[in-house]
């Protein structure tokens, strides 16, 4: 089967290209391209928590914004609504960041993370998680592990594909997404959409985990080769 | 009027004092002469392989000191405006997502003003009747989205250059209307190509210093800010003046001459990459 991004097999993944420190005004930033999906993540300078006192732990606040021209989802909506998929993604990413970043090292500090989705062709969660992990690492925040995400989809012909693009995502019967720490293999976030049998859900999740860990060498190599880190 | 400069860990007041001290010594923060511009670089992105997007053009504007503007043009069919049935529609939207959250409220007015400036300047240089498909029924609705990644002064010039680079020689593709009529592909052309620069004036004791192509730090300390937009014949397309005191006519003509002397360099930098074969 012929797939997007030069892939031939159902378990082929698109490997991310990471560019660090792409924005000059932020504390740290990362740009990740995954096929035709492009995401920029910026971490602002940490600021004192003013409105809320968090004791001995800091806080990571995340905002995900989608460019209006990023994908084809904005064709039907004339006005931006209050409840968006980006809001769900930002809340989930805050939970992931609380698990990964050692918040006791930054007490009473607020770390603001802004993610901008510039171009979208499936794999948005993969690119966003990878860029956020790269931006936090290059910003010098102590973390337990790197993290990344991968999706998998059950197509209408019964095939399970890894890292679906936009066409495969829209035609899928069910899809799963897993956000995994790369070295320890612990799952930070998992999501399933659609309807299928319980055995297929397990197959989707395990395929997504396999795809996530297969990108580990590509991600760590690009981060290690950066002159700052 | 301008986005706040990125001072890092330095307080804004101390930063301004430092810039003022440099200007009294005839120096600028980035070491440029007073009458030099930062030459823009336009990256034109070819995204024709992704058919699901309605993106017609995508350009990335950068200059030497870090101003970065991403311009994305999308097009759909829609009804023409009622007051001008023979014209198309053009909307401009400017966003700056990478500024800190506490300054999002104060920069919103600046971004709206930027969008109005870019739209009015483009409309005065572009014939909107070229976007008309069927008079009174169907037209192209172009949406220009400008994402300010990094802001280092001269935002009006930067956003205008990014939008002009994306819209010049834009190919409106061959498409089919919902009624079944086939619309042939068309090339969008400017009848005059605007270039812009921001000039800051610092009034010290008796003398007036012109700073061409100000950065964000100089905009925060300048007494007067001028934005000059000219075309190929050095005609004035647009002129904006904000300041604490009025200016005499020789100052205005000197400012226009400063921009006109760099107009050819700016225009070639904007249009050269756009004409590359895709």
pLDDT band at A80 (very low <50, low <70, confident <90, very high): low
Residues 6+ apart with CB under 8 A from A6: none
CB–CB of B52 and A67 under 8 A? no
**Is residue A75 classed as helix, strand or coil in its secondary structure?**
helix
Query: A68 contacts in B (CB within 8 Å)?
Result: 74, 93, 143, 145
Let me know if residue A6 belongs to a domain. no
Mean pLDDT of B13-29: 82
Let me know if residue A162 belongs to a domain. yes
CB–CB of B100 and A65 under 8 A? no
Is the per-residue pLDDT at A139 higher than 50? Answer: yes
Query: A121 contacts in B (CB within 8 Å)?
Result: 50, 52
> Which chain A residues in 113-142 lie under 8 Å from chain B, judged by CB atoms?
114, 116, 118-119, 121
Mean pLDDT of A103-110: 86
What is the tally of structural domains in chain A? Answer: 1
Residues 6+ apart with CB under 8 A from B11: none
Let me know if residue A5 belongs to a domain. no
Is the per-residue pLDDT at B63 higher than 50? Answer: yes
Is the per-residue pLDDT at A210 higher than 80? Answer: yes
Is the per-residue pLDDT at B138 higher than 70? Answer: yes
According to the model, what pLDDT value does residue A128 have?
A: 94
Query: A114 contacts in B (CB within 8 Å)?
Result: 97-98
Tell which wins on pLDDT, B101 or B150. B150
Q: Maximum CA pair distance of chain A?
A: 55
CB–CB of A25 and B76 under 8 A? no
* A69 has a chain B CB within 8 A of its CB: yes
Residues 6+ apart with CB under 8 A from A115: A39, A40, A41, A42, A62, A63, A64, A65, A90, A93, A128, A131, A132
Measured distance CA(B79)–CA(B134) in Å, rounded: 9
Mean pLDDT of B239-259: 82
Round the average pLDDT of chain B to a whole number and report it.
Answer: 81
Structure tokens at A96: 């992931």
Q: Residue A67 sits in which domain range?
A: 15-71+84-223
Let me know if residue A26 belongs to a domain. yes
Tell which wins on pLDDT, B76 or A229. B76
| Beta-sheet pairing, B186-188 with A59-66 | unpaired
Is the per-residue pLDDT at A20 higher than 50? Answer: yes
Lowest-pLDDT range, A66-70, A75-79, B129-133, B217-221?
A: A75-79
- Which residues pair with residue A119 across a beta bridge? A38
> Which chain A residues in 49-68 lie under 8 Å from chain B, judged by CB atoms?
61, 63, 65, 67-68
According to the model, what pLDDT value does residue A148 have?
A: 93
Let me know if residue A67 belongs to a domain. yes
According to the model, what pLDDT value does residue B121 have?
A: 92
Report percent pLDDT > 90 for chain A: 31
Let me know if residue A207 belongs to a domain. yes
pLDDT band at A36 (very low <50, low <70, confident <90, very high): confident
This model of the complex carries an ipTM of: 0.73
Query: B54 contacts in A (CB within 8 Å)?
Result: 69, 72, 75
* A167 has a chain B CB within 8 A of its CB: yes
Structure tokens at B86: 């023979």
Tell which wins on pLDDT, A198 or B49. A198
Is the per-residue pLDDT at B209 higher than 70? Answer: yes
Lowest-pLDDT range, A207-211, B24-28, B235-239?
A: B24-28
Q: Do A1 and A204 contact (CB within 8 A), yes or no?
A: no
Angle between helix B263-274 and helix B249-261 axes, rounded to 10 deg: 40
Q: What DSSP character marks residue A15?
A: P
In this complex, the residue of B50, B70, B74 whose CB is nearest that of residue A36 is B50
Query: B100 contacts in A (CB within 8 Å)?
Result: 44-45, 47, 112
According to the model, what pLDDT value does residue B103 have?
A: 66
CB–CB of B143 and A69 under 8 A? yes
Query: A63 contacts in B (CB within 8 Å)?
Result: 97, 101
CB–CB of A114 and B47 under 8 A? no
In this complex, the residue of B76, B93, B98 whose CB is nearest that of residue A25 is B98
pLDDT band at A69 (very low <50, low <70, confident <90, very high): low
In this complex, the residue of B55, B68, B100 whose CB is nearest that of residue A44 is B100
Which chain A residue has the Cα nearest residue B64? A24
In this complex, the residue of B70, B76, B152 whose CB is nearest that of residue A118 is B70
- Set out the domains of chain B in order of their start, with CATH numbers: 10-273 (3.30.230.70)
CATH number at residue A117: 3.30.230.70
Lowest-pLDDT range, A67-76, A119-128, A180-189, B163-172?
A: A67-76
Is the per-residue pLDDT at A222 higher than 90? Answer: no
Which chain A residue has the Cα nearest residue B147? A67
Let me know if residue A102 belongs to a domain. yes
CB–CB of A36 and B47 under 8 A? yes
Write out chain B in H/E/C secondary structure. CCCCCCCCCCCHHHHHHHHHHHHHCCCCCCCCCCCCCCCCEEEEECCCCCCCCCEEEEEEEECCCCCEEEEEEEEEEECCCCCCCCCCEEEEEEECCCCCHHHHHHHHHHHHHHHHHHHHHHHHHECHHHHEEECCCEEEEEEEEEEEEECCCCHHHHHHHHHHHHHCCEEECCEECCCCCEECCEEECECCCCEEEEEEEEECCCCEEEEECCCHHHHHHCCEEEEEEECCCCCEEEEEEEECCCCCHHHHHHHHHHHHHCHHHHHHHHHHHHCCCC
CB–CB of B145 and A69 under 8 A? yes
Let me know if residue A209 belongs to a domain. yes
Query: B150 contacts in A (CB within 8 Å)?
Result: 23-25
């Amino acid at each position: 089967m012929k797939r997007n991004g030069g892939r031939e097999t159902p378990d082929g993944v698109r490997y991310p290209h990471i560019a660090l420190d792409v924005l000059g005004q932020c504390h740290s930033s990362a740009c990740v391209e995954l096929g035709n999906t492009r995401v920029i993540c910026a971490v602002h300078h940490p600021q004192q928590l003013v409105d809320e006192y968090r004791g001995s732990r800091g806080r990571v606040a995340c905002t995900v914004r989608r460019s209006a021209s990023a994908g084809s989802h904005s064709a039907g909506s004339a006005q931006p609504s209050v409840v968006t998929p980006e809001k769900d993604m930002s809340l989930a990413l805050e939970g992931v960041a609380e698990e990964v970043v050692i918040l006791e090292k930054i007490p009473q500090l607020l770390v603001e993370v802004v993610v901008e989705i510039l171009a979208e062709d499936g794999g948005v969660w993969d690119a966003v998680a990878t860029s956020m992990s790269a931006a936090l690492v290059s910003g010098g925040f102590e973390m337990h592990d790197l993290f990344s995400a991968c999706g998998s989809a059950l197509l209408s012909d019964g095939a399970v594909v890894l890292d679906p693009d936009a066409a495969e995502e829209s035609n899928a019967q069910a899809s799963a997404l897993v956000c995994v720490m790369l070295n320890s293999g612990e799952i930070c976030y998992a999501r399933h959409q659609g309807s299928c049998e319980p055995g297929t859900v397990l197959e989707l999740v395990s395929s997504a985990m396999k795809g996530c860990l297969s990108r580990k060498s590509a991600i760590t190599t690009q981060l290690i080769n950066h002159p700052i880190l | 009027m301008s986005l706040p400069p990125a001072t890092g860990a330095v307080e804004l007041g101390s930063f301004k004092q430092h810039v003022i001290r440099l200007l009294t010594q005839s120096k600028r923060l980035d070491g440029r002469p007073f009458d030099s511009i930062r030459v823009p670089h336009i990256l034109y992105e070819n995204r024709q392989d992704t058919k699901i997007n309605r993106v017609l053009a995508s350009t990335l504007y950068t200059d030497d000191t870090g101003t970065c503007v991403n311009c994305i043009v999308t097009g759909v069919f829609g009804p023409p405006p009622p007051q001008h049935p023979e014209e198309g529609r053009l909307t401009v939207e400017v966003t700056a997502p990478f500024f800190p959250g506490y300054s999002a409220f104060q920069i919103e007015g600046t971004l709206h003003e930027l969008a109005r400036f870019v739209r009015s300047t483009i409309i005065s240089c572009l014939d909107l009747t070229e976007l008309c498909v069927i008079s009174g029924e169907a037209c192209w609705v172009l949406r220009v989205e400008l994402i300010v990644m990094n802001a280092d002064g001269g935002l009006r010039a930067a956003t205008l250059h990014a939008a002009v680079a994306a819209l010049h020689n834009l190919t409106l593709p061959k498409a089919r209307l919902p009624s079944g009529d086939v619309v042939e592909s068309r090339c969008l052309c400017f009848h005059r190509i605007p270039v812009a620069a921001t000039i800051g004036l610092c009034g010290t004791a008796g003398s007036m210093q012109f700073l061409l192509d100000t950065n964000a730090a100089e905009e925060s300390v300048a007494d007067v800010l001028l934005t000059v937009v000219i075309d190929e014949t050095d005609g004035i397309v647009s002129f904006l003046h904000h300041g604490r005191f009025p200016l005499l006519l020789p100052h205005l003509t000197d400012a226009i001459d400063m921009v006109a002397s760099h107009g050819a360099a700016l225009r070639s930098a904007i249009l050269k990459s756009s004409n590359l074969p895709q």
